[in-house]
Chain A
Amino acid sequence: MTVTELHSVRAGTPRRSAAAWLHQILSMPAGAILLVFLVVQLACIIAGLAFPDDFRYLSPQNMGILMRSVPVLGCLALGAGILMIAGEFDLSIGSVYTLTAVIMAMLVGNGIDAFIAAPIGLMVGAVIGLGNGFLTLRFNLPSFIVTLGGLLFWRGAVLLINGAVQVRFDPNPVFNAMFGGTVLGINAAFIWFILLCLAFWALLHRHKLGNHIFATGGNRAAATAIGVNTSRIKMIAFAIAGFMAAFAGILATTRVGSVQPGQGAGLELQAIAACVIGGLSLRGGRGSILGVFLGVMLIFTITDVLLLMRAPGFYLDMFIATLIVVASIFNHGLDRRGGAL
């Protein structure tokens, strides 16, 4: 068939080409979630335009709240997502997030510059991640168990080193502007999140390390046989998960100006939920950064909508729960899809 013929066929059957287009979107990694996200956004925008007084979705305040709330969970989910693709879990990221934030805030409280304290927090996060990786790989344990231990251990450690009181975080103004300010009306934390998404996309989908991460999670035996050092790859992924938990801690602490010892509880599950909604396989080897991004955005859009509609909080949990299960059913059906093209 020539090109002109093809064009005429396409022009003649618009319905089929729309179906083909839909099929193409759905067969993309994260295509389904992208479609859901766009539909939800469209509905929200239409509703926001139609009822500007009752449904303030498009108001600058609401947009500001969205942009401020997304990055913390977003950064946690990026780290958790990379690790999930490598075939492991980290349930301790919520506790690590709190612990590193407490350490950073205490250091700053003792007169250490925030630009020194923050990297120390990041290092602690990465080292704890490496520790999880070491225990998992050295003793051949499920990472679920190791990091469940981590969750409880580091949660307790926060209370040990700090007690159950909140810690004030008062960094220098430059640090505050970099992580808590706004640039051209856009929240700095949100910009960090977008930059990190781009960096992670490049790492996972364009760098050879990403290829090895997919291979390690997808078929560890095959990856090992071909000469990929899968233990090293998993260690790197664990370190990234811990590092990103600490980074999320920096963003949250700068935004609020203090750390609550209980603030990280449940965040690890939300991060994993975002990844599952975004199409990452619980068995590893499948997923995309776009999926993680959209999973996080969808959770917050739905949260936001329910808040704007003044729905009681329990609806939120029920809604997200439904979303996770539906997403898993869908991903299971498309289990062949969503790998790295």
Chain B
Amino acid sequence: MSLLALHNVNKHFGPLKALSDLSFEINENEVVGLLGDNGAGKSTTVNMISGIHQPTSGHISVDGKKQVFTCRRDSAEAGVETIYQNTALVDSLSISRNIFLGRELTNRFGFMDLKRMREISMQVLESAVHISGIDSPDKLVGDLSGGQKQAVAIARAVFFKRRVLLLDEPTSALSVRETEALLNQVLKLKAEGVSSVLVTHNLYHAYQVCDRFVIMSHGTKVLDVDKANTTIEELTQHVVLT
């Protein structure tokens, strides 16, 4: 059974048809590459899965059950975490405050348990995420590099036990070394049971880690193929020519 699936999803923005009859699924322990050129509808798809947009028709299901995501919190509760290009972090807050933003550990009066938040943040950063150079959970996120910021965002997803990570152009702002570390991280998470969707137009990065590829063009799916049954040339052709 699929973990997350889109069923015949259409999305209109006024007269503009952004997605038409899009269906695909993400299974457990799977890394899916969602590929396509600019304007193919990838970002709309990501926003829909994370609850920012709602489908005009069609629906999304989690574990085979129909779900309606009206905001990001809904998708987070269903186990989906989106990590954006310019990751959704607040530069002027510390790492631990960012990780727990919106889900602070508090006593019953709403006061934060900063000590525990710090300890857990450091633990998660050390054990789950291997993009290093972060030595204190009190560092301001604004002082981190692009890769370290993504690491914080991933640490947040890992700690809150997300089942699907949506990584929207995760490598576009990263150095070569950080990119390698991130892609390894995706594989490591897969081994731990977290599926990922890599939304990118860098086919080489996708080819390195994905098990399956969904290629989009003009708002619809043009190819859905396992890695074993395709080559990078074929993928390139589909992205470029359709």
Contact = CB atoms under 8 A, between A and B. Distances in A.
A202 B107 CA distance: 13
Contact of B88 (A212, A225, A338): A225
Interface in B33-84: 52, 71-73, 76, 82, 84
Interface string A274-296: 00000001000110000000000
A157 to B, nearest CB: 36
Contact of B71 (A208, A209, A219, A227): A227
B102 A227 contact: yes
A214 B90 contact: yes
A215 B102 CA distance: 9
Given A211-B93, A341-B138, A206 B102 contact: no
B13 interface: no
Interface in B87-123: 87-94, 97, 100-104, 106, 109-112, 114
Contact of B112 (A206, A218, A341): A206
B72 A206 contact: no
A285 B90 CA distance: 9
Contact of A340 (B73, B84, B93): B93
Which of the listed residues B90, B100, B110 has the most CB atoms from chain A within 10 Å of its own CB? B90
B110 A207 contact: yes
Interface in A196-239: 202, 206-209, 211-212, 214-215, 217-219, 221-228
A339 interface: yes
A74 to B, nearest CB: 24
Contacts of A217: 92
Contacts of A338: 92
A336 interface: yes
B112 A207 contact: yes
A208 B90 contact: no
A228 B101 contact: yes
Contact of B140 (A219, A223, A336): A336
Given A227-B72, A227-B73, A211 B101 contact: yes
Given A208-B104, A209-B110, A225 B84 contact: yes
Contacts of B101: 211-212, 215, 223, 226, 228
Contacts of B100: 211
A339 B88 contact: no
Given A228-B102, A336-B140, A286 B110 contact: no
Nearest to A202: B111
Contacts of A214: 90, 92-93, 97
Contacts of B111: 202, 206-208
Contacts of A207: 106, 109-112
Contacts of A285: 90-93
Nearest to A217: B92
A227 B76 contact: yes
Nearest to B143: A336
A219 B90 CA distance: 5
B106 A286 contact: no
B112 A223 contact: no
A337 B139 CA distance: 10
B88 A226 contact: yes
Contacts of A211: 93, 97, 100-101, 104, 112
B107 to A, nearest CB: 10
A341 to B, nearest CB: 5
B110 A340 contact: no
B15 to A, nearest CB: 24
B26 to A, nearest CB: 21
Residue from B88, B92, B114 whose CB has the most chain A CB atoms within 10 Å? B92
Contacts of B112: 206-208, 211
B102 A212 contact: yes
Contacts of B87: 222
Nearest to B92: A339
Contacts of B73: 227
Contact of B110 (A208, A219, A339, A341): A208
Contacts of A218: 90-93
Contact of A339 (B76, B82, B94): B94
Contacts of A202: 111
Interface string A299-341: 0000000000000000000000000000000000000111111
A285 B93 CA distance: 8
B1 to A, nearest CB: 28
Contacts of B90: 214-215, 218-219, 222-223, 285
Contact of B106 (A208, A339, A341): A208
A84 B73 CA distance: 27
Contacts of A336: 91, 140, 142-143
Given A208-B104, A215-B102, 16 more contacts: A206-B111, A207-B106, A207-B109, A207-B110, A207-B111, A209-B110, A211-B101, A217-B92, A219-B90, A219-B91, A219-B92, A223-B101, A226-B72, A227-B72, A336-B140, A339-B93
5 contacts: A219-B88, A219-B90, A226-B72, A336-B142, A341-B94
